[in-house]
């Protein structure tokens, strides 16, 4: 069974990179240089948060 989690992606205008958070998992955040990278990193971060 696959769970779905809402994530919020922000663009850092100073560094031209992205960061994301998963509001329902406190402290589950990540960053990346592209939207694709931040989405992949967020998937991994969510899996790690759920393991704990």
Query: Domain segments of the chain: what residues?
Result: 8-51
What does the alpha-carbon distance between residue 9 and residue 22 come to, in Å, rounded to a whole number? 9
Long-range contact list for 6-15, CB < 8 A, 24+ apart? Answer: 7/39, 7/42, 7/46, 9/35, 9/38, 9/39
The pLDDT tens digits along the chain (52 residues) read: 688 999 999 999 999 999 999 999 999 999 999 999 999 999 999 999 999 7
Cβ-contact 7, 42 below 8 angstroms: yes
**What is the model's pTM?**
0.87
């Amino acid at each position: 069974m696959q769970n779905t989690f809402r994530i919020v992606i922000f663009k850092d205008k100073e560094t031209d990179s992205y960061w994301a958070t998963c509001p329902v998992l406190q402290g589950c955040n990540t960053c990346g240089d592209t939207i694709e990278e931040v989405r992949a990193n967020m998937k991994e971060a969510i899996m790690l948060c759920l393991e704990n």
